[in-house]
Amino acid sequence: MIKSGFFERNLKYLFPLPALLFVLLLMVFPVLYTLFVSFTDWTLTSGRPMKFAGLGSYLKIMGEPRFLDAVGRTFYFTIGAVLAEAVLGTTIALVLNREFRGKNTLKFILLLPLVATPVAVGIVFNLFYDPTIGFLNYILSVLGLPQSGWVTASSTVLPSLMLVDIWQWTPMISLIVLAGLAGLSNEPYESAKVDGATSVQTFVHITLPMVMPTILTAIILRAVDALKTYDIIYAMTGGGPGYSSETLNILAYKFSFEYFNMGQASSILVFLFFIVLLFSIGVTKIRKLFEL
C-alpha cells in the first residue's frame, strides 16, 4: 500500500523521468563536458594530465588563420545551400499543391534523396564529379563547354558540395512547406476570387504571408543541420583540396583526431554551438513577426 501510494502521488514525475534522463545523458552532458574541456589545455600526445587553461584554447583558436577561414566557409556553404533549398523547395511544394496526374509518383521520387545516407551520396557524386571519367564533365564536353575540376579545384569545391546538399535536402523543405500549404484556410482565397485578384496577387498577398512561418521553420531546421554538415564534406573531400572546403566541423575533427588537441577542438565546437544557437533565436524572432 505504501509503494502504491508513492507511485500514485508521483506519477507526474515518474512518467517523464526516462525522457529527462535521456536528455541529460545524451544531450546536456556532452555539451557541458565539451564546454569544460574547452577551458583546458588537454592534448592527448603530451602525456600530461588535463589542466585548466582558462580562455587559452579560445585565444589560440582565434589567432589561427584556418579557424577564421573555416568560419567564412561554414557561413558561405550554409547560406548558399539553404537559400537555394528554400526557393526550390517552396517552388516544388507550390507545384505539388495542385492536382495533376502522377502527383503521388512525383512525391515518391521526391523522397528518394532523403532516404539515402550522406556518405553514400558523397561517394556517388564523387564519381559524377571525377575530372576524367565523371558524367558531368562528359556532358560539358558534349555541349562544347569547358570542363570543370568540381571538387578537385579550390575555386569550385564549395559550390560543388553545395549542389550535393541541395540535391539531397531540397525535398525536406518541399515536404514541410507542402504540409503548411495543406493547412491553409480557403476563406481568403474565396474572398480574393470575388474581388477579382489575379493568381500573382493571390500568391504575393495571401499564400506567401500565410505560409511564411512554415517556410521559416523549414529554414531553421535545415540551416541548423547545414551549419553542422560533416559527413558529405568529409566523404567527398576531407576538407581539401588543401584547406579549401574545411568548415568548422571538419576543422574540429582534425584538431581532435589528427592533432589530438582536445582543448582547442572543443573550443571550436563551442563556438559552432553558439553560432547555431544565435541563428536559431534570430530566425525564430523573425518567424514570430509573420505570425502577428
Q: For residue 16, is it within any domain?
A: no
Cβ–Cβ < 8 Å for 86, 165: no
Longest dimension (CA), the chain: 85
Instruction: Report the number of distinct structural domains present in the chain.
Output: 1
Residue 183: per-residue pLDDT: 86
Closest CA to 122 of 162, 154, 86: 162
Q: For residue 22, is it within any domain?
A: no
Cβ–Cβ < 8 Å for 233, 239: yes
| Residue ranges of the chain whose pLDDT lies below 70 | 1-4, 291-292
- For residue 130, the enclosing domain spans 38-291
The cell for 52 is 585548466
Q: For residue 110, is it within any domain?
A: yes
Q: For residue 254, is it within any domain?
A: yes
Closest CA to 154 of 243, 252, 254, 253: 243
DSSP 8-state secondary structure symbol assigned to residue 131: T
Residue 292: per-residue pLDDT: 57
Q: What is the pLDDT of residues 103-130, one digit of tens each?
A: 888 888 888 898 899 999 999 999 999 9
The cell for 180 is 503548411
Query: How far, in whole angstroms, is CA 101 from its chain's centroid?
Result: 33
Distances, alpha carbon 148 to alpha carbons 122, 127, 231, in Å: 18, 14, 23
Q: For residue 9, is it within any domain?
A: no
Q: Is the full-model pTM beyond 0.85? A: yes
Q: For residue 65, is it within any domain?
A: yes
**Own/partner pairs for 229-235, CB < 8 Å, 24+ apart?**
229/77, 229/78, 229/165, 231/118, 231/119, 231/122, 232/118, 232/119, 232/121, 232/122, 232/161, 232/164, 232/165, 232/168, 233/161, 235/118, 235/119, 235/122, 235/123, 235/126
Closest CA to 170 of 102, 250, 225, 237: 225
Residue 1: per-residue pLDDT: 44
Cβ–Cβ < 8 Å for 263, 53: yes
Task: Specify the CATH number for the domain of residue 88.
Answer: 1.10.3720.10
Q: For residue 190, is it within any domain?
A: yes
Residue 262: per-residue pLDDT: 94
Q: Residue-wise over 58-91: b if at least 16 C-beta within 10 A, else e? A: bebbeeeeebeebbebbeebbebbbebbbebbbe
The cell for 84 is 537555394
Residue 39: per-residue pLDDT: 95
Q: For residue 90, is it within any domain?
A: yes
Q: Residue 55's CB: how many other CB atoms inside 10 A?
A: 11
Cα(240)–Cα(265) distance, rounded to whole angstroms?
A: 19
